């Protein structure tokens, strides 16, 4: 010991004298690169991904429970192994075994032989590679060996006679080894070997191509001893008898999740994917780790837009990545001996529903056909015929729907299903009765009722019973549909009514009203769509039910004819029609063209003339533009207030140009889109548009002014006495109104006015346009005649 201290002291002194840098001795090599799990899948099915020391720490902790604990290891702990107590037989005469180790941070060590230690103990350094060879003459044969390498698994083939197994320069640990003899050497000798493993210490002796070391734990092999023993003689023994350690056979799983990507591997029974975050699961991998039996695990995914994919196995990807497609269901099965010894159970967490029941051995788990995303999964192995991990109820949900309608003059039509139309369209036929039914493996059913002409709402019907009337010639005007029992937990029902004059309305949901009441319009058809709970509506839900007519639909229904026409079920008296025609003539007789449209906001009734001829907007376009800034850029109402107000009250061109320069066309494009007119109208400061377009833009202004938004009343107040408004000039003493005219008589001609007239609680929208050269007063008679027509609607 004294000589050793003196030697070390001398080395240290020499190092200091010549300033030789001394490399640090690291306590642990775990700072090596993160494991490449995909590579592990390809080359080591037994330990797929379990070697990761960070991402799968939970699995590793479970697998290593007790490792490194004296009490847990008991007789097999390193302290229980006394090298001096190991019984060793001498190497057989004539042949010996030589070997050398490449050690982390140290490189290749010298050759040792016949049971000597190669590698290190107590320095936390891994063996990264090994060379092994025979020494002796007279016998044919070789020594062959292969190692288990970090991130790579078992080498695919053996090397022999001094060739390198493992890696150098890559900081990859070896974890286990196979060694065998061949030829006459194998007939004469047995080869014994044991390894020292991180946390386990010295393991027992392996013999003749048995594995020594560990896999599945991510632990380094630190030292090795190898011996040749003549055939028939007793080999070396030790207190530890286990030569190779690996975790017990189990399933592992991982998922590819929206906004997350690939998650780490989890042990069987644990959740892969996410819950409570509304993220779709996009792909799934399963693997039997540390398999003790032949066979594999196979699985396939039901993917949105694709359906059932083909079967995948043992770590391959089921589902998709990079396509934003949701998994909706999964099937899993075992093959070979695994299928004879185990059942595989699995369940999925579906969007807005939660965990479904446990499926088993190729059964479907999840919901198909209803766009219901799968968010998470759990998978378990259970001994053949063993008890399921939990309830197996409703592990998959399938549902079929059917409907049938009774229609005036046709009677009962053929049964339909899915999204097909129930009833008729384009034939002006009332629906008088209908019945619905669903079939599924889930408790509950479908319930529905009808709103009947002169009767009102009937009571609820269920599963094939008739709603409505037969033989009474009474129209259905509205419907309500809902699900019951467990069906209502798993699904939402949407339905859409087709009503007289209005066409298809918006989609109603789960018992809400669809259609109309109080305005005597027949229901002509409907359609039904059932979606997974919380799933998206099949289309717009706006305007599913009306007690008044949709003004937007009414404006669309108006004729563009160059004659006076009415819409929304309104008819003009002869006197009112004559007054309108006289007013039109007062403009056209001067050589000008004109157009107008007026619609009552409460009833959707209206009157129009030449509603689709485009005219130059002049300053009338300022009315929608300033309103859209108030709604879409709320801060503008305070920061640009004076500019916006002057643009409306006195039609300031400078103010309007400043607003356009500051905010551009984007807010107006949105306004046009919401009003149902071409967004091209927004591209220029001034544009060409029809009176129908201008009325739709003012309908959008109306919804903003009446929305209750904090700044809406302020903006609306700017339109009460707009300069040169011919509507205000003629009607302002009788009604409150919001208007904005436009006029020009230069290179282009226009005299226009439009807005909302609040006529004694029955507001109407009016838009009047002409190519008169700037003289808005030419429209006086038109304004009065239109108001007279509106009075007939009241």
pLDDT averaged over consecutive 10-residue blocks of the chain (794 residues)? 40 36 33 36 35 39 38 35 39 80 97 96 97 94 96 92 97 97 96 97 97 90 97 93 84 95 93 95 92 86 94 95 96 93 94 91 89 93 93 85 95 92 94 94 91 94 96 96 91 93 89 88 94 86 79 89 92 96 97 97 91 97 98 96 98 97 97 94 96 96 88 96 96 96 96 95 93 96 97 86
Calpha distance 115→202 (Å, rounded): 13
Task: With beta carbons less than 8 A apart as the criterion, state whether 533 and 352 touch.
Answer: yes
Residue 233 CB coordination number (10 Å): 11
Nearest by Cα to 125 from 174, 68, 193, 180: 174
Radius of gyration of the chain (CA): 42
Nearest by Cα to 692 from 577, 636, 610: 610
pLDDT of 65 = 40
Looking at residue 113, the DSSP 8-state letter turns out to be: E
Calpha distance 596→698 (Å, rounded): 13
> Quick one: which H or E segment has residue 664?
none
Calpha distance 104→111 (Å, rounded): 16
**DSSP E strands, 315-424:** 318-319, 327-334, 342-350, 354-355, 359-360, 365-367, 374-383, 396-397, 399-407, 411-412, 416-417, 422-423
Task: With beta carbons less than 8 A apart as the criterion, state whether 601 and 793 touch.
Answer: no
Calpha distance 397→375 (Å, rounded): 16
Residues 6+ apart with CB under 8 A from 468: 406, 431, 432, 433, 434, 450, 452, 458, 474, 476
Query: Whole-model pTM?
Result: 0.43
Looking at residue 777, the DSSP 8-state letter turns out to be: G
- Structure-token pair, residue 101: 């180790």
Task: With beta carbons less than 8 A apart as the criterion, state whether 452 and 458 touch.
Answer: yes
Dihedral sign, CA of 153, 159, 165, 168? negative
> Quick one: which H or E segment has residue 86?
none
Calpha distance 767→725 (Å, rounded): 12
Task: With beta carbons less than 8 A apart as the criterion, state whether 617 and 687 touch.
Answer: yes
Residue 50 CB coordination number (10 Å): 28
Distance of CA 494 to the CA centre of its chain: 21
Task: With beta carbons less than 8 A apart as the criterion, state whether 195 and 212 touch.
Answer: yes
Task: With beta carbons less than 8 A apart as the criterion, state whether 391 and 464 touch.
Answer: no
Could you report how far apart the first and last alpha carbons of the chain are, in Å? 117
Distance of CA 769 to the CA centre of its chain: 49
Calpha distance 213→177 (Å, rounded): 7
Calpha distance 535→372 (Å, rounded): 7
Residues 6+ apart with CB under 8 A from 413: 404, 405, 406, 407, 423, 424
Q: DSSP for 425-490?
A: SSS---EEEEEEEEEESSS--EEEEEEETTTEE---EETT--EE-SSS---EEEEEEEE-HHHHHH
Pairing of strands 688-689, 736-739: unpaired
């Amino acid at each position: 010991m004294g000589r050793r201290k003196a030697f070390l002291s001398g080395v240290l002194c020499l190092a200091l004298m010549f300033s030789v840098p001394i490399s640090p001795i690291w306590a642990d090599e775990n700072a090596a690169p993160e494991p490449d799990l995909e590579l592990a899948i390809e080359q080591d099915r037994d330990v797929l991904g379990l070697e990761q020391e960070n991402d799968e720490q939970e699995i590793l902790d479970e697998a290593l429970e007790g490792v490194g604990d004296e009490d847990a290891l008991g007789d097999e702990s390193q302290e229980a192994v006394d090298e001096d107590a190991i019984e060793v037989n001498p190497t057989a005469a004539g042949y010996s075994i030589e070997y050398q180790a490449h050690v982390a941070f140290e490189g290749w060590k010298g050759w040792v032989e016949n049971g000597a230690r190669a590698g290190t103990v107590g320095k936390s350094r891994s063996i990264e590679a090994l060379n092994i060879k025979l020494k002796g003459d007279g016998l044919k044969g070789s020594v062959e060996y292969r190692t288990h390498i970090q991130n790579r698994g078992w080498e695919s083939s053996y090397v022999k006679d001094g060739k390198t197994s493992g890696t150098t320069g890559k900081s990859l640990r070896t974890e286990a080894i196979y060694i065998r003899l061949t030829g006459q050497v194998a007939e004469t000798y047995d080869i014994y070997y044991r390894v020292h493993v991180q946390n386990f210490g010295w393991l027992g002796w392996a013999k003749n191509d048995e594995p020594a070391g560990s896999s599945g734990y991510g632990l380094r092999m630190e030292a090795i001893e190898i011996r040749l023993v003549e055939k028939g003689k007793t080999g070396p023994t030790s207190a530890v008898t286990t030569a190779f350690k690996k975790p017990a056979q189990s399933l592992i799983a991982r998922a590819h999740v929206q906004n997350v990507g690939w998650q780490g591997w989890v042990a069987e029974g644990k959740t892969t994917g996410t819950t409570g975050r509304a993220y779709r699961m996009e792909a799934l991998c399963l693997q039997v780790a540390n398999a003790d039996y032949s066979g594999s695990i196979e699985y396939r995914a039901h993917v949105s837009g694709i359906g059932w994919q083909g079967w995948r196995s043992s770590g391959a990807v089921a589902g998709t990545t990079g396509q934003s497609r949701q998994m909706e269901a999964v099937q899993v099965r075992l093959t070979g001996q695994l299928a004879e010894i185990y059942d595989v159970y699995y369940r999925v967490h579906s969007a807005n529903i939660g965990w479904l029941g446990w499926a088993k051995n190729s059964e479907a788990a999840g919901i198909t056909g209803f766009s219901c995303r799968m968010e998470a999964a759990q998978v378990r192995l259970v001994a053949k015929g063993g008890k399921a991990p939990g309830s197996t109820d409703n592990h998959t949900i399938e549902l079929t729907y059917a409907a049938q309608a009774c229609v005036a003059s046709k009677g009962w039509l053929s049964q339909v299903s899915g999204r097909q139309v129930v009833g008729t369209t384009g034939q002006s036929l009332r629906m008088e009765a209908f019945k619905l039914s669903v079939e599924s493996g889930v408790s509950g059913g479908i319930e529905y009722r009808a709103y009947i002409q002169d009767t009102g709402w009937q009571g609820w019907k269920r599963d094939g019973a008739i709603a409505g009337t037969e033989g009474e010639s009474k129209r259905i005007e509205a419907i309500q549909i809902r699900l019951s029992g467990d069906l209502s937990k798993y699904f939402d029902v949407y339905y859409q009514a087709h009503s007289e004059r209005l066409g298809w309305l918006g989609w109603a949901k789960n018992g809400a009203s669809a259609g109309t009441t109080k305005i005597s319009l027949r229901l002509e058809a409907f359609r039904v769509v059932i979606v997974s709970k919380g799933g998206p509506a099949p289309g717009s839900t706006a305007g599913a039910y009306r007690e008044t007519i949709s003004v937007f639909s009414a404006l669309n229904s108006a004729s563009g004819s160059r004659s006076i026409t009415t819409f929304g079920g309104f008819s003009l008296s002869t006197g009112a029609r004559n007054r309108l025609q006289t007013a039109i003539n007062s403009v056209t007789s001067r050589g000008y063209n004109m157009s107008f449209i007026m619609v009552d906001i409460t009833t959707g009734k209206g009157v129009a003339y030449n509603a689709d001829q485009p005219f130059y907007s002049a300053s009338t376009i300022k009315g929608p533009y300033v309103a859209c800034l108030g709604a879409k850029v709320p801060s503008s109402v305070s920061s640009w207030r004076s500019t916006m107000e002057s643009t409306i009250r006195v039609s300031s061109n400078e103010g309007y140009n400043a607003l356009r320069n500051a905010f551009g066309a984007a807010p107006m494009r949105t306004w046009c889109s919401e009003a149902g007119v071409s967004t091209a109208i927004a591209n220029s400061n001034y544009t060409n548009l029809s009176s129908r377009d201008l009325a739709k833009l003012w309908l959008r202004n109306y919804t903003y002014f009446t929305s209750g938004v904090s700044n809406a009343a302020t903006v609306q107040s700017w339109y009460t006495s707009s300069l040169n408004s011919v509507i205000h000039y003629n009607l302002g003493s009788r009604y409150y109104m919001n208007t904005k005219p436009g006029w020009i008589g230069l290179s282009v001609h226009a005299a226009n006015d439009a807005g909302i007239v609040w006529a004694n609680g029955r507001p109407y929208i009016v838009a009047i346009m002409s190519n008169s050269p700037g003289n808005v007063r030419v429209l006086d008679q038109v304004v009065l005649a239109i108001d007279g027509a509106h009075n007939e609607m009241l």
